[in-house]
Structure 1
Amino acid sequence: MTSITIKKCSMEDLQILQEISIETFRDTFKDQNSPENMKAYLDKAYTLNKLEMELLHTSSQFFFIYSNAELAGYLKVNIDDAQSEEMDDASLEIERIYVRRKFQKQGIGKFLMNKAIEIAIELNKKTIWLGVWEKNQNAIAFYSKNGFVKTGAHAFHMGDEEQVDYILTKTL
């Protein structure tokens, strides 16, 4: 039987957070983006300094998820001024649900989604939302299956390419 545990991240997790961020992002998006744009994005988005600032932000939280004591992925949620789009005070953003390739299709994403919903309810939030790349069909299907609906779109910059992220929202 699989043992699942979720642990809130701290500054001691910074190096591991950087490693899993780069690994999961690269595995998910490398086949659909140029190596130059991937490198440019990864070199900017997941520096130790940037991740440290995100970890220290009081309106953001990170959680690692383990499957049988092996790091399987992580969740990042934002409220208030940490949200990547201007939203009302009743919203919680799921900025990242990143699952390592070998753990995909095993329910890990669902555990992380449930953790985000649990946090939103504890904080009396009315909606949860996220941005997902329009070409990431697996993620869009997952979120749709979990009650999210498309409510908008915004630009996402991958190196020198402007891409479109759908904004998906779920009312709690």
Structure 2
Amino acid sequence: MKNGIHPWPMNEVDALCELSRTTFVETFAAQNTEEDMAAYLDSHLSIEKLQEELTESSAAFYGHYVDGQAVAYLKVNQAQTQTEQVSFEGLEVERLYVLKAHKGKGLGKALMVYAEDLARSEGLAWIWLGVWEHNVAAISFYQLGGFAAFGSHVFQLGSDAQTDILMRKRLR
């Protein structure tokens, strides 16, 4: 695949599964139990679950490719596929992950700009997301990008009910 951001190919669910699981473990394994991580990976990042999500008409995955390999990815949701039914017209960034070896190279920012452009092209006024309250680096990243907190919700990681801060950014 050519370098840059591209829609995730439907026939590459295995690669999406591997990237999703690897980035999730790199990001959260140190702060969570093996049991809770395994439960989440099995229920939310399995090949079957990702295949189902890839076919959702109001959700989309995008990969950021470097040297022909996907090293980061983005999942966005609209309408009924959003994890929360918000009271404003917005695009949800459900997942934005970068492989540890590629962090600090602007790939996450590029994916977020891409998501904002998608939202604008749909005429949406907001872009929003949920971020774990203990993921200080991600919260800072989103704040620097113009996001502000507007609420919270529970993110179930295995048996651990965690709190995600809901953040949004006005686009128009």
Deviation at 1:89, TM superposition (A): 6.2
Q: Percent identity at matched positions?
A: 39
Map 1:22-101 onto structure 2 (within 5 A): 22-88=21-87, 90-101=89-100
2: CA distance, partners of 1:65 / 1:139: 18
Aligned to 1:116: 115
CA contact (8 A) 1:80 1:89 kept: no
Give the residue type in structure 1 aligned to 2:43: K
Contact preservation (8 Å) 1:79, 1:89: no
Equivalent pair of 2:36/2:160 in contact (CA under 8 Å): yes
Any conservation in 1 of the 2:125–2:170 contact (CA below 8 Å)?
yes
Give, in whole Å, the separation in 2 of the partners of 1:90 and 1:48. 30
Return the offset for 1:68.
Answer: 3.2
CA distance in 1, matches of 2:65, 2:55: 22
Is 1:149 aligned to 2:154, yes or no? no
Structure 1 CA distance for aligned equivalents of residues 165 and 98 of structure 2:
20
Q: RMSD value over aligned CA atoms? A: 1.2
CA distance in 1, matches of 2:54, 2:87: 22
- 2:133 maps to 134
- Normalized against structure 2, the TM-score is what? 0.95
* 8 Å CA contact 1:129, 1:168 repeated in 2: yes
* 2: CA distance, partners of 1:46 / 1:69: 23
Gapped runs of 5+ residues in structure 1?
none
Give the 3 Å change call, closer, same or farther, for CA 157–21 of structure 1 in structure 2: same
Question: Partners of 1:77 and 1:71 in 2: how far apart?
Answer: 17
Q: Secondary structure of the residue that 2:49 maps to in structure 1?
A: helix
- Paired with 1:68 and 1:35, the residues of 2 have a C-alpha distance of 32
Contact 2:91 2:126 in 1 (8 A): yes
Q: By how many angstroms is 1:11 displaced?
A: 1.6
Q: Structure 2 counterpart of 1:14, which letter?
A: V
Q: 5+ residue gaps in structure 2?
A: none
How many aligned residue pairs are there?
Answer: 170
Structure 1 residue runs of 4+, over 3 Å off?
Answer: none
Letter matched to residue 146 of structure 1: G
In 2, distance between residues paired with 1:126 and 1:160?
Answer: 35
